[in-house]
Structure 1
Amino acid sequence: MICRPRLASDALSQPGIRALLLLLTIVSLYSIYGSLYFYRDPLSIFFSEEHGFDRFYSATRQAEADEFLDAVLADPDLARSELGNAGPTPKICAVFITVGRNVDGRQYVDSAVGSFLANMSHAERETVHLKLFFADVPNPNAQHKSYAHLTAAGIADEIFTYNSTLPPKEKDAKIREFTEYIKDRQDKHALEKKTVYDYAYALDRCVLTTEAPYIALFEEDILLADGWAARTLRNLQIIEEMMKDPRRHEPKKGKIAPGVPNTWLYLRLFNQERSFGWSGGYGFRSNKLHIISFAVSIPLLLVLLLVRRKMPRHLARHLDGWTLLVICGLAVPLILWLFYASGKAALIGSPPGVREEFFGCCNQALVYNREHAEELSDFLKIASGRAVPGRSDMLPKKFAYEHGFARISAYPMLAQHAGRVSAIDTSNDEAKRVWSMAFEDLKPSKLAREHIRDVQALFGDEAVEQMRRQWVRAPGGSANKTPI
Structure 2
Amino acid sequence: MNPLRQPGFRALALLLTIVAFYMTYGYFNFYRDPLSIFFSQKHGYDQFYSATRQAEADAFLDVLHANPDAIRSQLAKAGPRPEICAVFLTIGREMQGRQYIETAVASFLVNMTRAERNAIHLKLFFADVPTPETQHKSYTTLATADIADDIVTYQGSLPEKGKEEKLTLLESWFKRRNDKSMIERKSLHDYAYALRQCTETTDTPYIALFEDDIILADGWAARTLKNLHTIDDMMKDPRRHNPARGQIKPGGPNSWLYLRMFNQERSSGWYGGYGFRSNNAHIISLAVGIPLLALMLLTRRLFLPRSLARYIDIWVLLVTCGVAVPLFVWLFFASGKASLLGSPPGVHEEWFGCCSQALVFNRKHAEGLSDFLMAATTKIGRAGRADMLPKDYAWEHGLARVSAYPMLVQHLGRISATGTTSVEASQIWSMAFENLEASQLTSDHMKAVEELFGQKEVENMRTHS
* Superposed displacement of residue 346, structure 1: 0.9
User: 2:66 — aligned with what?
Assistant: 74
Q: How much does 1:290 deviate?
A: 1.5
**Structure 1 segment 111-130 matched on structure 2, within 5 A:** 111-130=103-122
**2:369 & 2:289 partners in 1: Cα distance?**
51
8 Å Cα contact 2:269/2:352 also seen in 1: no
Q: Any stretches of 5+ residues in structure 2 without a counterpart? A: none
SS in 2 for 1:419: coil
Counterpart contact for 1:35–1:46, Cα < 8 Å: yes
Report the counterpart of residue 347 of structure 1 in structure 2.
Answer: 340
**1:256 aligned residue (248, 251, 254):** 248
- Matched with 1:384 is 377
Query: Which segment drifts farther, 310-319 or 56-65?
Result: 310-319
Match of 1:422 in 2: 416
In structure 2, how many angstroms separate the alpha carbons of the residues matched to 1:288 and 1:128?
A: 47
How many angstroms does 1:328 deviate by?
Answer: 1.1
Deviations 1:356-407 (A, max 9, x none): 1111100100000111111111111111112321111111111111111111
Whether contact under 8 Å (1:43, 1:277) holds in the other structure is no
Q: Structure 1 residues 185, 393: closer, same or farther in 2, change over 3 A?
A: same
Q: Which residue in the other structure is 2:8 paired with?
A: 16
Amino acid at match of 1:342: S
SS of the aligned residue for 2:147 comes to coil
**Candidates 328, 352, 355, aligned match of 2:321:** 328
Deviation at 1:184, TM superposition (A): 2.4
| Number of aligned residue pairs | 463
Is the counterpart of residue 92 in structure 1 residue 88 in structure 2?
Answer: no
- Kindly tell me: are residues 254 and 423 of structure 1, through their superposed partners in 2, closer, same or farther at Cα, counting changes over 3 Å? farther
Equivalence for 1:356: 349
Counterpart Cα distance in 1 of 2:67 and 2:85: 25
Deviations 1:205-250 (A, max 9, x none): 1111111110000000000110000000000110111111111122
Partner deviation per Cα, 1:304-360 (whole Å, 9 max, x = no partner): 223323433333222121121111111111111111111111100000011111111
Sequence identity (%): 63
Question: Residues 192 and 390 of structure 1 are in contact (CA less than 8 Å); yes or no, is this contact kept in structure 2?
Answer: yes
Larger CA deviation: 419-428 vs 308-317: 308-317
Q: TM-score, normalising length from structure 1?
A: 0.94
1:269 aligned to 2:261? Answer: yes
Q: Is the 8 A contact 1:181 1:194 kept in 2?
A: yes
Aligned ranges for residues 202-241 of structure 1 at < 5 Å?
202-241=194-233
1:172 CA drift (Å): 1.0
Deviation at 1:279, TM superposition (A): 5.2
- The answer to whether the Cα contact below 8 Å between 1:254 and 1:403 also exists between their aligned partners in 2 is no
User: Aligned AA for 2:5?
Assistant: S
Tell me if structure 1 keeps the 8 A contact 2:35–2:271.
no
* Residue correspondence of structure 1 range 28-427 to structure 2 within 5 A: 28-254=20-246, 256-278=248-270, 280-309=272-301, 310-387=303-380, 388-427=382-421
- Is the contact between residue 121 and residue 470 of structure 1 (CA under 8 Å) also seen in structure 2? no
C-alpha contact 2:26 2:38 (8 A) present in aligned 1:
yes
Distance (whole Å) between structure 2 residues aligned to residue 268 and residue 185 of structure 1: 27
Farther off after superposition, 288-297 or 198-207 = 288-297
Letter in 2 for 1:254: G
1:270-327 C-alpha deviation (Å, 9 max, x unpaired): 0010012325344211222222212222222222223323433333222121121111
Shift of 1:426: 1.1
> Which residue of structure 1 aligns with residue 443 of structure 2?
449
Deviation at 1:255, TM superposition (A): 5.2
TM, length-normalised to structure 2: 0.97
Distance 1:324 1:251, change over 3 A: closer
Distance in 2 (alpha carbons) for counterparts of 1:63 and 1:131: 24
**Aligned partner letter, 1:379:** F
